[in-house]
Chain A
């Protein structure tokens, strides 16, 4: 069978480290081929070589029947390979059309023919059934729309092979469904799609074939019909996944009491929110991002001023107290944006781990931090969470760690505080299945010890797996509350979209 693209025995070495070891991969016209694997399995390296951002140590890339070498992304684009990056490469101030045609603008005598560009984008949008408002400003578009802009841009550039890097990580459940439909449409119209992900459910819905990578090697290439989620997970992780620990039923006194919490800026961001988190309870907050979850977490942790309402932690009023005071009262916080709130990218792993511990008597004496004592603790975390820190180990810059490993470091640091209350915002964003399993297990154990956890996640599966109670936020309010026993993905989705669920217990005051 003639493939549109073949990568043969691709090997990439960085010094002694082998990122890709004789990885072979093929892609037919009209095929959706998923590449799955944990963080550091070599997915990204493989795609960077395909996109001309890295040069292979050995191995061949064959397009059609021609061997090719790409010196840069331009070469790859020229050859009909397009990449939709995980972090969008868009200009918020420009319109949808401008973002799609940039670099290949229709022009006459140096002048940008914007009308013609809009026309072209409209045609493209109809041809591939990817709906978009060609003249909207990108910054006013939802994340899902922005992703469609990225896909259209790649199509506009003439790509036959479209690489989607973790495309569903940032989308709402509805948007995910739309994206999967778009991928099917693209395949039907003859485009080939490479889908990089670690969400196996989605892979099973849309992929024709699946290549699994582990430790830089291919552990299997299978067609969808002959596999299932469990088999794939086994191939990915290299072992059976464990069930989460039992939830212990506990005596549950109130731990965090939030009453009528309101945050206003230009508009009301958080509107009269009241809820309680008990000891030994995980309360999950679901919702499309941007419906007040961030503001809620910031108000709880002291990063944002609350206009009205009160927050009591362990019986003590901590409304509008400083971050340090609230943390001393008993809060640890895994922040939703690990780069903005969670780490100092330009500092070492050790320094990042130390944040929040520097004044503890065990590690601090008369203004001097006792580094050696602390280093032992960090080494323990690195081992327990299998954090890959790179060649300089604890002295490696945090910014050089992969997203998943950095997340593990933050989780370890915040769990290590052993506070009665923990805010876990997107605790497993971007981490692989093995680490996710570990983090989930750690959260459940913390719950079983009688601590309270407020879990905010855009992954409904995560919310459903961990929460004792689920609150759904919509437009700054709590739109509904579901007990663990009655919660389903459908019910939550409806509440997330602003609907109401019959029989859901409206939140109790």
Chain B
């Protein structure tokens, strides 16, 4: 097996999806001035709920919907704690992560009666979408065609988020809230409402990210299967300066590392070593980030 070939690009695109979706969600929160470290937990809840939804409804579309709803519900808890109760967002985010880990592990036993992981060979995963015409083009077809629908959703979401931020009125106001909440409030903008909106949208994106994780790449759920992807998404968000297209680029970089780490396992490197790759990159990325604030933190104190 070669180290680098075109299938690596294809698997990069597949691996990037959950990171990209969650990073976009994180960017929404960052843009309203909330640093959401709970992405990891929100993805995990999504991943579990997708399996539950699939198991009980047998309908993949409903499964994704249930995943999104479950994560939205969780993100509402985050919103209530940070905005209404004015709790520290980092603390609440960490709490969300542990709550999600504990709750999904517990529910795994309660619902499916298994420990560690749930797998059902009869359960259908997300289908591969073959895009007509494109799939027949050599190389390009292999890379771009034949992914789960959520892969395409993720890339479209990045573009939609760009349009939302920079072309729509609501997006413009969302940006305003993050830049200067005091000024936004004095203009009569609904600051709290916009913040909740951003958090809820973040929840939905994380839910879908989770669904891709448990239904797209494999068709199973295992405890803590997010394996730090939420945090990588956080770094991707910061590296991309909370800009949708920047995040697209930085997420692709992390997706590539993810794909590479799997590829390297074929070279009889221990998995423990190869799976460190994305995290090594995360640490390296921090060096480049050290002088740049993430999009939301450059507000000045008034007075």
Contact = CB atoms under 8 A, between A and B. Distances in A.
Given A74-B188, A87-B302, A87-B303, A105 B183 contact: no
Contacts of A94: 175-176, 179
A102 B172 contact: yes
A72 interface: yes
A15 interface: no
A200 B247 CA distance: 54
**Contact-residue bracket for chain B:** 20 to 34
Given A93-B179, A102-B172, 10 more contacts: A77-B188, A87-B303, A89-B187, A92-B180, A92-B300, A94-B175, A103-B187, A110-B169, A111-B169, A112-B169
Contacts of B264: none
Contacts of A73: 186, 188
Given A91-B180, A111-B169, A103 B303 contact: no
Contact of A110 (B168, B186, B298): B168
Contacts of A91: 176, 179-180, 183
B88 to A, nearest CB: 16
A138 to B, nearest CB: 10
B297 to A, nearest CB: 12
Interface in B176-195: 176, 179-180, 182-183, 186-189
| 5 closest cross-chain pairs (CB), A and B | A89-B183, A74-B188, A103-B187, A91-B179, A112-B169
Contact of B172 (A74, A87, A105, A339): A105
Contact of B170 (A77, A87, A92, A110): A110
B173 interface: yes
Interface in A68-115: 72-74, 77, 85, 87, 89-94, 98, 102-103, 105, 107, 110-112
A271 B17 CA distance: 53
B292 interface: no
B167 interface: yes
A94 B173 CA distance: 11
A94 B166 CA distance: 11
Given A87-B302, A91-B180, A103 B188 contact: yes
Contacts of A72: 188
Nearest to B164: A110
Interface of A: 72-74, 77, 85, 87, 89-94, 98, 102-103, 105, 107, 110-112, 339
A90 B169 CA distance: 17
Contact of B168 (A103, A111, A339): A111
Contact of B180 (A90, A103, A110, A339): A90
Q: Which of A73, A89, A105 has the largest count of B CB atoms less than 10 A from its CB?
A: A89
A423 to B, nearest CB: 21
Contacts of B167: 111-112
Contacts of A112: 167-169, 171-172
A93 B169 CA distance: 16
A30 to B, nearest CB: 27
A85 B300 CA distance: 16
A98 B172 CA distance: 9
Nearest to A90: B183
A72 B190 CA distance: 13
Contacts of A102: 172-173, 176, 187, 189
Nearest to B189: A103
Contacts of B170: 110
Contacts of A98: 172
Interface string B278-303: 00000000000000000000101111
Q: Which of B183, B298, B302 has the largest count of A CB atoms less than 10 A from its CB?
A: B183
